[in-house]
Amino acid sequence: MAEKNKKIKIHTNNSCNLKCRFCYYGDSACIKEKDPTLGDLKLQLKRAKELGAMDVDFCGGEPTIMPDFIELVKYTKSLGFRTIGLTTNGLRMADESYAKKIIDAGINNVLFSLEGYNAETHDYLTRVPGSFNKIIKAIKNVKKLPVTLRVNTTVTNENYKVLDKFASLLVGLRPDSVNFIKFNPWGEALKNSEVLFPKYSDMAPKIKEAIDILSPHIDKISVRYMPFCFMQGYEKHVSNCTNLVYDLDEWGLHGVQIKMSKKFPEYHINLVKKVVKNIPNLIKVKPSLSLDKVIQDLTIKKLYIKLPQCRKCKYYSICDGIDKPYSKLHGTEEIIPVAGEKLKDPMHFREVYLENYEKKHPS
């Protein structure tokens, strides 16, 4: 079995300089939690390092609009973290000098959120005119620097039909890896599901076509949270809750994430609220000695559902299932079990693929 990753997530702030239609965090005005202070974030990082984390990823909101972000990155580097990542919309990094400052401070892995192959699509989804031109400039700026460059795109009704053109754009930009993230009907994004959430059967062929275009040029292509039954022949690209912890680019230390926050006053109140809210899901989770496994199983129970016919599918044990709101949006007629020997190993398809990528892109 592949080694589990050692990466934690640091949520720097709630505010953002985009207003993406698919964002499940929603407008910062809708978020009641206050932003953590620089001191809070440093304490989280120190605790995470003591608890065995080796890698960190900064996300928000938008981390680059945090006033003390560069100082935070420098502190993180001083703690000896191996990979210091940044998930960003790229607006501020369109300024080449600022992009260089961030990399010089210690960022060595940048994940950009690019939502379309042209300004019309990207700017519509982000609701900020000019954001496409800025992120393209930011990607080109970072490409010149000694970092791992990755790209996310959320697959929606607005862009899935032209993923071939998106793939052709990415071939020219040459990121090290690409993530296609199926629209997630979570949080604030749920209210936009009817407009933005395509059918699995419509998305899958377009995603496969994009993979075919990208594969000769991009070392790693992941498809996040798609049911396996729609990805036959492309299973090695499926990235879901059961195998994310074995991907070094992803977050996997769920137990550490909880322990990092225990010293903060808001933590205990929020934890009680989450436990009470998730009681219906918690009672479905099998007991485990591993807190990480409990949280993984809880996430699956909370967000996904498996239909009666899924039990006949060879992917049953390694698949998350379908999104809970999906049946109301699109029905379940297209969910057809795939015959074959039942698979148990969540890395059955993905282990060798990730190993080959990691050999080319060592931490």
Q: How far apart are the C-alpha atoms of 36 and 31, rounded to whole Å? A: 13
Task: Give percent helix, percent strand, percent coil of the chain, each to the nearest 5.
Answer: 45, 15, 40
Residue ranges per structural domain of the chain: 7-254+349-360
Question: Which CATH entry fits the domain spanning 7-254+349-360: 3.40.50.300, 3.20.20.450, 3.30.70.370, 3.20.20.70?
Answer: 3.20.20.70
Report pLDDT digits (tens) over 241-280.
999 999 999 988 888 888 887 666 555 556 556 655 666 6
- Collapsed DSSP state (helix, strand, coil) of residue 74: helix
Q: What is the pTM of this model?
A: 0.91
Q: Which tens digits make up the pLDDT trace of 14-29?
A: 889 999 999 987 654 4
φ/ψ of 168, rounded to 5, equals: -65, -40
304: β partners: 323
User: What's the chain's length in residues?
Assistant: 363
Instruction: Select the more confidently predicted residue: 288 or 322.
Output: 322
What's the confidence (pLDDT) of residue 269?
53
State the chain's mean pLDDT as an integer. Answer: 91
> Under a CB-based contact definition with an 8 Å cutoff, are residues 263 and 43 in contact?
yes
